[in-house]
Amino acid sequence: MLKGIIQKILNKYKELFPQYPRKSFGRIGIHCKIGEDSALVPQNIFMDDYSIIQDRNNFISYEGKLFLGKFSVISSGCIIIPANHVPIVGVPFYLATMTHLGDDSHDIVIAEDVWVGAGCILLPKCRIGRGAIIGAGSVVTREIPPYAVAVGNPARVVGCKFTREKVIEHEKKIYCEEERMSFEEIDSLFLNELNNLPVIKNAELDSIQQQDLRQSWHNLEIEK
């Protein structure tokens, strides 16, 4: 029992005195979580509500920013690099690294409800659309459409998260009306980006799990 009490105190201490104070971030919303042992540049990180950066992540940034949308999670051990060193005659990489001369910086944008798997590398210009899943160990170099499943090096789209009908249902359940994708946007997505791609396995919640989910949402609401 004593061990459990001590652990609770330590956990509370970590919440009150995190590695990176909340005020050091470009923006950090409500119910955001930051894991331990990460190397971040917090002033260049903008986290929306209910977003998570797990442990052992490395955000290598001088000017480029990271925007993490609501409900999104960056899993453990990812490397996020929003800039390239561009070769310059007469400038060795030692000085380019120290001075950032010739850096080609671009913001990295992760939209809402995205899962970035463990050990991924996100490179300049990558944009990850709402609801997408990036498989563990993938290297993202370009735009990934909403609700796509992308894997590999470089990451390519191999499937979709939900059917069209389930995307509509999912949007209704987790977003208010003004935040939802329109029917026209969803139709265009499945016609042009996700056409004929397989849908990954989906789980179904039993009645007890549904009750637990409702309680979890309730707890978040009262903690605002």
Domain ranges of the chain: 18-222
Distance CA 28, CA 52 (A): 10
> Residue range 100-129: average pLDDT?
95
Is the pLDDT score of 83 beyond 80? Answer: yes
Decide: pTM greater than 0.75: yes
In terms of CATH, what superfamily is 18-222? Hexapeptide repeat proteins (2.160.10.10)
Question: What are the tens digits of pLDDT across the range 168-202?
Answer: 999 999 999 999 999 999 999 999 999 999 999 99
Question: What are the tens digits of pLDDT across the range 126-165?
Answer: 999 999 999 999 999 999 999 999 999 999 999 999 999 9
Six token digits for residue 55: 């442990």
Q: Which of 74, 71, 75, 73 is nearest to 171 (CA)?
A: 71
Distance CA 146, CA 130 (A): 5
Q: What is each CA distance from 78 to 2, 118, 120, in whole angstroms?
A: 35, 6, 5
Instruction: Report pLDDT for 214.
Output: 85
